[in-house]
Amino acid sequence: MMPQRSHLVGFGSYLPKKIVTNDDLAHYVDTSHEWIYERTGIVQRHISDEQETAVYMGTQAALKALEFAGEKAEEVDAIFVATSTPDQIFPSTAARIQAELSIKHGFAMDITAACSGFVYALATANAFILSGQIKNALVIGTEVYSRLLDWSDRRTCVLFGDGAGAVLVKAKNKEGGILSSHLHSDGSIGDILYVDGALGIKDASGYIRMNGREVFRHAVMRLSEVVDEALKSNGMTKESVNWLVPHQANLRIIKAMGKKLGLMDSQVIVTVDRHANTSAASIPLALDEAIRGGRIKKDDTILLEALGGGLTWGAILAIY
Cite the active site residues. Answer: 115, 247, 277
Question: Under a CB-based contact definition with an 8 Å cutoff, are residues 275 and 164 in contact?
Answer: no
Give phi and psi for 222, each to the nearest 5. -70, -40
Angle between helices 54-69 and 93-100 (to 10 degrees): 50
Distance between alpha carbon 42 and the CA centroid of its chain, in Å?
A: 17
Question: Under a CB-based contact definition with an 8 Å cutoff, are residues 140 and 97 in contact?
Answer: yes
Amino acid at 202: K
CA–CA dist 215, 313 (Å, integer): 12
